[in-house]
């Protein structure tokens, strides 16, 4: 099966933001993904119309769409657009869980109101309950990264309590296949809690790569990540799309 991961769309009422999303979806559509996950920052202006615009476009894929909020998202319009299909109430974290064929997709809301960093602590009990239930292997996704990415000035907005999150994942044994996130607007691959960990590229404008005080001048095009699950193995691909 194919899980398409989009992240950091940052719809803001402008034609440019939606054109980048349209380009990514035009590339993706022939693959007909079995599921779509969005790892936060769907919009940045807080307007209901921006979330509706994104939802309409994602709906054209005719695949189940599962989202988590990012630090730029307004929870009220996000609840209004996606609350029904995600089972969100009027209060509480915007976590979600969905079985997509042979894989369980678990979305973690690690956002902190008014802050750019995240915090896993409030969702750990809920996650432990989900992982204790019988079911297929799980792929976790969230917005802020719980591991150091090494990119200058980005790790200050990390997801706090990453060690506790890692302990919860490790306690589930082989049930968790991996974790993926967004937030930094750059793709990367590492390990977390002894599992593969990835970061999807952004649909919105990418950030420059800054490592050890050195910086690239290149600005990447919009992109997405594809997770292919077959014969018990998860393989992740990065695709960059000309806008």
Low-confidence ranges of the chain (pLDDT < 70): 218, 243
Residue-level pLDDT at 26: 97
User: Which CATH number covers residue 30?
Assistant: 3.60.21.10
Residue-level pLDDT at 152: 79
Residue-level pLDDT at 206: 92
Residue-level pLDDT at 141: 98
Domain boundaries, position 180: 2-210+217-240
Residue-level pLDDT at 90: 86
SS (H, E, C) the chain: CEEEEECCCCECCCHHHHHHHHHHHHHHHHHCCCEEEEECCCECCCCHHHHHHHHHHHHCCCCCEEEECCCCCCHHHHHHHHHHHHCCCCCCCCCEEEEECCEEEEECCCECCCCCCEECHHHHHHHHHHHHCCCCCEEEECCCCCCCCCCCCCHHHCEECHHHHHHHHHHCHHHEEEEEECCCCCCEEEEECCEEEEECCCCCCCCCCEECCEECCCCCCCEEEEEEEECCEEEEEEEECCC
Residue-level pLDDT at 171: 97
User: What domain count does the chain have?
Assistant: 1
pTM: 0.96
- What digits encode the pLDDT tens for the residues 151-197? 978 999 999 999 999 999 999 999 999 999 999 999 999 999 999 99
Residue-level pLDDT at 3: 98
């Amino acid at each position: 099966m194919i899980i398409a991961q989009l992240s950091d769309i940052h719809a803001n009422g402008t034609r440019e933001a939606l054109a980048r999303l349209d380009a990514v979806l035009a590339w993706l559509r022939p693959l007909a993904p079995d599921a779509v996950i969005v790892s936060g920052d769907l919009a940045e202006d807080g307007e209901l119309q921006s979330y509706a615009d994104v939802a309409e476009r994602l709906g054209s894929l005719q695949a189940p769409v599962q989202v988590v909020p990012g630090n730029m998202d307004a929870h009220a319009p996000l609840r209004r657009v996606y609350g029904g299909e995600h089972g969100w109430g009027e209060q509480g974290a915007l976590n979600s869980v969905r079985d997509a064929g042979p894989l369980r997709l678990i979305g973690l809301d690690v956002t902190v109101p008014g802050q750019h960093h995240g915090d896993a602590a409030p969702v750990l009990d809920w996650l432990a309950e989900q992982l204790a239930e019988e079911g297929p292997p799980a792929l976790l996704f969230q917005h802020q990264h719980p591991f150091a990415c090494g990119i200058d000035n980005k790790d200050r907005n990390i997801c706090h309590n990453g060690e506790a999150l890692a302990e919860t994942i490790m306690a589930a044994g082989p049930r968790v296949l991996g974790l993926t996130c967004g937030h930094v607007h750059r793709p990367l691959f590492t390990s977390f809690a002894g599992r593969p960990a990835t970061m999807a590229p952004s649909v919105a404008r990418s950030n420059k790569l800054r490592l050890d005080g050195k910086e690239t001048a290149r600005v990447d095009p919009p992109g997405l990540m594809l997770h292919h699950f077959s014969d018990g193995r998860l393989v992740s691909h990065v695709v960059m799309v000309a806008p």
